[in-house]
Amino acid sequence: MDQRQGDEAGRTTLVSGGVTLHGVCKEPSPEPCGLVIFGASGDLTRRKLIPALFHLFQEKLLPDRWYVIGSGRTEMEDEGFQKIVAASLDAFSTASRSDPAERDRFLQRFHYLPGDSQDDRYYPRLRERLAQLDRAHATGGNHLFYLATPPTLYSGIIRCLGATGLNRSPEGSGWTRIIIEKPFGTDLASAQALNREVGQVFQEEQVYRIDHFLGKETVQNILFFRFANTIFEPIWNRRYVDHVQITAAEKIGIERRAGYYERAGALRDMFQNHLFQLLCLAAMEPPASFEAEQVQDEKVKVIRSLHPLSSEEVDRFAVRGQYGPGGVDGEPAVGYWSEPGVAPDSRVETFAALKVYIDNWRWQGIPFYLRSGKRLTEKVTEIAVAFKRVPHLLFNPILSEEIRSNTLVLSVQPSEGISLALQAKHPGPKLCMDRVAMDFNYRGAFRVPSPDAYERLLLDCLAGDRILFSRRDWVALSWSFLMPILDRWREPPAVSFPNYAAGSEGPKEADALIERDGRRWRAL
């Protein structure tokens, strides 16, 4: 049976299966506050936010004094909203069933204020309700606003919060923060416009642009892996790394989200946020300290150092695809054109692959290959660092072409872990080489499930820790890099869609992108 011990310095010792793991724990300490969720009856709130808050409540990571106001257009009282919260826990919470008293204490923290978030007249009522609940819960005027709404509503909410003075604490000494979900803009111009609107109402340190990928345990652990261990840092550069592959593959299709996906596509949906965040964490320089601004500075330097693509280079460095009919897990799967709500001749990409270079001292000349797509063979998100091959093979008659490079893989999903592929002699009298892997699995090592990403991110927002969130200059720079690709892809298409079958590993054009350099994609 696992045993966990702790001391006053925050060190923990996990004794598991005869292996002792020593760690230093530093949990954020959130202050009392009121949380306002715009879009309280929406899918994100029910599936993610309410279960995340409940798990934090069960783990006693929330402050003693807190409350939630749900904001939505549906007319209901507090009791009606609490029934929605209870149904959310029944349907989506993965925590062990709590006792009725604990569950009731949680539900009593939820309140509701119906109204139109785009109507100026709603916000004086919201301010009055906040003041009432602040007094009842003694929260000191600390407020967190969560925009769990469609992006088209962001501007109106932000404007109204500013006009009513809700962008600052009524107590003077408290804090006010706002969480904005992705997508943050649909192109460079819209992202800059939204940045300006936010900046007119909130200071940058109040703004939390959320990307749930950054809340995943393995994504967070990239920083710890790189900068808390000395073994890999000396070889984490162009002298020893051959190339890096970053993959986010999904087996699912668009799941009845045609209204969103027809406007977005794979490049907007996955690259501008998720994949570029992984790229920055893998490529960034060591920050001076583990503080939000220091980490954000280094991430911005990576995006700023990306070699810009001209319109003529897009066709050589970028590939797009769209899935047609095929099969997934032995079951037939329709093509994108047959998905409900999709135009029968849609040119939206469901797959994209890029080759990018980082023009700096560490990575000059080293290609980073990024790919993401829907309806692929497997669900895989990973960063694979392929090291250079040995310069001279000593073990004749084995040919050097048979020796594959050492590869370090940081797996984000479906299983979170780290593996390192090595060459070793196969047992026996013959001189045979074999490839072996050293694997580390989070759940197997720590004997605890990884928390949901929203738990980590909500806790950080409440504690005022912005390390895992996007800064306004990073957002603008990421869109700036993608604009030549988006502009080129708006032109009459030179590719014929669909160009890969559902259940395959993507279009042949993506294979050609990497194989021209004498490399291959990792199998999904």
Catalytic residues: 274
Longest dimension (CA), the chain: 84
Q: How far apart are CA 285 and CA 296, in angstroms?
A: 11
C-alpha angle with apex 74: 68 to 78, nearest 5 degrees?
40
User: Measuring CA to CA, which residue among 304, 479, 278, 237 is closest to residue 383?
Assistant: 278
User: Measuring CA to CA, which residue among 453, 452, 461 is closest to residue 145?
Assistant: 461
Residue 518, C-beta contacts closer than 8 angstroms, at least 6 positions apart = none
User: Measuring CA to CA, which residue among 100, 101, 122, 126 is closest to residue 111?
Assistant: 126
Residue 492, C-beta contacts closer than 8 angstroms, at least 6 positions apart = none
Q: Amino acid letter at 372?
A: S
User: Measuring CA to CA, which residue among 257, 263, 264 is closest to residue 340?
Assistant: 257
Dihedral, CA of residue 358, residue 359, residue 362 and residue 367, to nearest 10: 40
Phi then psi for residue 399, to 5 deg, are -80, 145
Q: Amino acid letter at 163?
A: A
Percent of the chain as helix, strand, coil, to the nearest 5 = 35, 25, 40
Whole-Å CA distances, 502 to 331, 489, 498: 10, 22, 10
Q: How far apart are CA 206 and CA 169, in angstroms?
A: 11
Phi then psi for residue 21, to 5 deg, are -110, 125
